[in-house]
A and B are shown apart, each in its own frame.
Chain A
């Protein structure tokens, strides 16, 4: 936080109207608990950042998140964050490093633009899960909504339930493993990356085509299931980009980097 002419700015140079964390967390050694019941989104996030950055606590539990939006965003440090209950929309966006455990459900756009770390959701997740995901793992043990992994640029999304319409829409890199059914338009207009589906596929999107599973696919899927203790993966079909709409292999590496 910087103070200039009595106005407080955050690290991005934006005005922070009320920069004081509530100081309500209960800290016990390397663990802390934040009760979010009576706190606003801004106060919850200020407290979380205080605990993780200023106090150096590495294991934080947020109880009673109450489906509030934008919780746990922008944490750029390795740590463990547990939500006892359900966060709302845009949970844990732009994180780089944390291991997040959500013991509940979650709203739209979980882990948007996440860079590294992991998010495990015990219940279902809404639409746009892992939008523009760049790295790390998102595991959803229930169903996911429409357009999961839209514009995905890396990382892995594992869904144990069903996936909604246009899952993998304009996916550019990374992998998705869907153990249940996938609705219409799977992988529509994808540029690159792989989608594995265990259940029924209502229809493939434009330029999403079946591919042969090879040893590296099995090794990758088994490794991910083992890391997240998900048991034995089901039989999966593999899909990839047909390279008709978008074929970046024809581009120079510098151009490719620019596009992706």
Chain B
């Protein structure tokens, strides 16, 4: 059991960090192990890189501070070598970093080059997407990463109850569609044909950062977007291709979508008004956002919905 949530502000950026935290915190009972956010701000000409240089569980290891310092210097060196001009680098937790860079090249060599540094994982790359995820509940992550007051137009988030893999950052959602800019997915459920799709995508040249089935949804959809398909079509294809039970949310720089499996085995409640769209595994999360009685509905089985931001 995990909890997922999403918000779209149709009337411009809002304090989406606080809002998504309230939604995710209300679903803490669905998963206290890790919490993650994919927040979309206004598109920037800079590329935003969110990366970590260690797992939180490794951080207390002997000589870790020196190792992190060396690896951070290596990140800056490699960025320079590949032709990226670093504007800012902020260290948020000791092991998690946010960098803004000027870079006009292909993102895959950049991501591959950084991930080649021991312990380095690129959480997200893009002009508006920022993925922030860590162990613990939403209030913990909010404080750790100073998300209060963070603004954005849309966002998706996830609270995780670890059932099939470790409690670590690699298994925490959201998943970025490596190496496609600005595509992220959160997912509640299990894909039963994960291994065959992973091998298929790997044969196409994709690499994966985790052993989690949810990551292939992100890469699968991003590849179809890259091939020129509309998001809604790509999501409908995913319903034909993926077996199992799932409800997932996908976001890009300009769109947000939901898809449910044909058995409607995983919950989702949706609220849509003129200026605000909100969705979550449970209505209690929507109530945490809006506070009052609102009209909501449960999307039906095999339903796919997308919204332009």
Q: Which residue of A lies closest to B286 (CB)?
A: A67
On chain B, the residues within 8 Å of A162 by CB distance are: 300
A88-B283, A105-B297, A107-B283 known; 19 new pairs, CB 8 Å cut-off, are A66-B287, A67-B282, A67-B286, A86-B293, A86-B296, A105-B295, A105-B296, A107-B269, A126-B298, A127-B264, A143-B298, A145-B264, A146-B263, A146-B265, A146-B301, A162-B300, A164-B264, A184-B262, A184-B301
User: DSSP majority for the B interface?
Assistant: loop
A residues 78-97 in Cβ contact with B at 8 Å: 85-86, 88-89
Q: How many residues on chain B are close to A (CB under 8 Å)?
A: 18
Give the distance in Å from the alpha carbon of A145 to the alpha carbon of B297 in the complex.
10
A105 touches B264 (CB 8 A): no
A residues 45-93 in Cβ contact with B at 8 Å: 66-69, 85-86, 88-89
B residues 248-268 in Cβ contact with A at 8 Å: 262-265, 267
B282 touches A88 (CB 8 A): yes
Task: Name A residues whose Cβ lies closer than 8 Å to a Cβ of B.
Answer: 66-69, 85-86, 88-89, 104-105, 107-108, 123-124, 126-127, 143, 145-147, 162, 164-166, 183-184
Q: A68-B284, A104-B293 in contact; A126/B300 too (CB < 8 A)?
A: no
Give the distance in Å from the alpha carbon of A98 to the alpha carbon of B293 in the complex.
24
The 8 Å CB contact of B298, one of A66, A88, A127, A147, is A127
The 8 Å CB contact of A183, one of B269, B284, B301, is B301
B293 touches A89 (CB 8 A): no
Give the distance in Å from the alpha carbon of A237 to the alpha carbon of B28 in the complex.
44
A126 touches B287 (CB 8 A): no
Minimum distance in angstroms from A125 CB to a CB of chain B: 9
Give the distance in Å from the alpha carbon of A192 to the alpha carbon of B298 in the complex.
28
Provide a sorted-by-A list of 16 A–B residue pairs whose CB atoms are within 8 angstroms.
A67-B282, A67-B286, A86-B283, A88-B282, A89-B282, A107-B269, A124-B297, A126-B269, A127-B264, A127-B267, A146-B263, A164-B301, A165-B300, A166-B263, A183-B300, A183-B301
